[in-house]
Homo-oligomer: A and B are copies of this chain.
Amino acid sequence: MPEGLNMSRRIRRTPYTDRVEAAGVTGFSVVNHMLLPKAFQRTVEEDYWHLREHVQIWDVSCQRQVCIAGPDAERLVQLMTPRKVTGAKVGQCLYIPIVDHAGGLINDPVLLKIAPTTFWLSIADSDVLLYALGLATGYNLDVDVSEPDVHPLAIQGPKAEDLLASLFGDHIREIGFFRFGHFDFQGTRQLIARSGYSRQGGFEIYLDDSALGGALWDAIWQAGAAYNIAPGCPNLIERIEGGLFSYGNEMTRVNNPFEIGLGKYLCLDGSIDCVGINALRVIAEEGPHQEIRGVQFDGAPCPTCAIPWPVIADNSTQIGQITSAICSPRLKRNIGLSMISKEYWDPGTKVTVLTSDGLARSGTISNLPFA
């Protein structure tokens, strides 16, 4: 049993928390000052197999939206990201790094272009709204920065499309990956994107009205019975196998976008005005000193990785640290994610992982996603 989480208003409940509790949640995390369900009554492994075969409903309200709207909205978004935003179409999602003046990562949200001068940033765990407010004030931009009453609900797994088509109609099947459309729910217009924090396919419903949370959950739950729906949450086995990163775990402000494999998305040709662009051009010229990789390692199923575990090569050189890890029942190995120094990042490199149970385990550097 994990140690308890003490509740208060500051740790915000979501429009779905009542339903999540009724579904038997046993553990939470806290993201953006909001509850994120992290465990139900089944094991992580049982949830993993279920997610790969059926469909799950996830309360990811903690993916708060930072709404940037107004004549200078695109300028402000571009100031925060080195990925080119101009040219994105309404209805499109973009995975964008948010950086500081030194190119350090502040967040890695999904950007939704809602209208020509309205953007949502669907954020990981840091107060991007405060960064945007500071920049908007300092640059004296004509924008409004706010957190709307939008609470994403993810429907993930191979049966997600059939389930949502049964509720919202076959038009849902036409939404492309990282695109969104609008659909009717009980007379309201709701945004649904083909996206989500798994590699099993699915959608995220950006419910715009918290008062409808219970009704939306119930409608999906009832229609989902035919598809063997279960309550779930981002699955640690699935996300590590799939090479999906978590801000605050795999990267912090000491890391840059190159280190998490986003170099190919950056616009370094001088055509955009981003606060970190000059620093990133210097890094691009030198090349990053480390990059994220997979690490497979031996031994009994590893414990929870709550403190980074050193990754060692040549018997004594620390070449990285594992920041998320778990035993994969499919690969029948422990797997983890780690920044790895340049000299050692080639797949196949032999390493030693010092896990928090005191063991030194033999391991191998691997490409991501894991095969």
Taking the closest CB of chain B, its distance from the CB of A179, in whole angstroms, is: 29
Mask: chain A, 1-32; 1 = CB below 8 Å from B; 0 = not: 11111111111010000000000011111100
User: Number of A residues contacting the other chain (C-beta, 8 Å)?
Assistant: 51
Contact of A134 among B11, B28, B134 (CB under 8 A): B134
A199: chain B residues within 8 A (beta carbon): none
Q: Are A246 and B308 in contact (CB under 8 A)?
A: no
Q: Is A127 an interface residue (CB 8 A)?
A: yes
Pairwise interchain contact A126-B125, C-beta atoms closer than 8 A: no
Within 8 A of B (CB), among A246-292: 246-249, 275
A247 to B127, CA, bound (A): 14
Whether A304 is near chain B, meaning CB under 8 Å from some CB there, is: yes
Contact with B along A100-113 (1 / 0, CB 8 A): 11000010000000
Complex contact A27–B4 (CB within 8 A): yes
Q: Could you give, for residues 296-307 of chain A, a 1 whenever the CB lies within 8 Å of some chain B CB and a 0 otherwise?
A: 000000001111
For A1, give the chain B residue with the smallest CB separation: B4
Chain B's nearest CB lies how many Å from the CB of A272? 16
Which residue of B26, B126, B307 is within 8 Å of A3 (Cβ)?
B26
Of the 9-residue stretches A114-122, A135-143, A154-162, which lies at the interface with chain B? A135-143
Complex contact B137–A100 (CB within 8 A): yes
- Complex: A126 Cα to B30 Cα, angstroms: 13
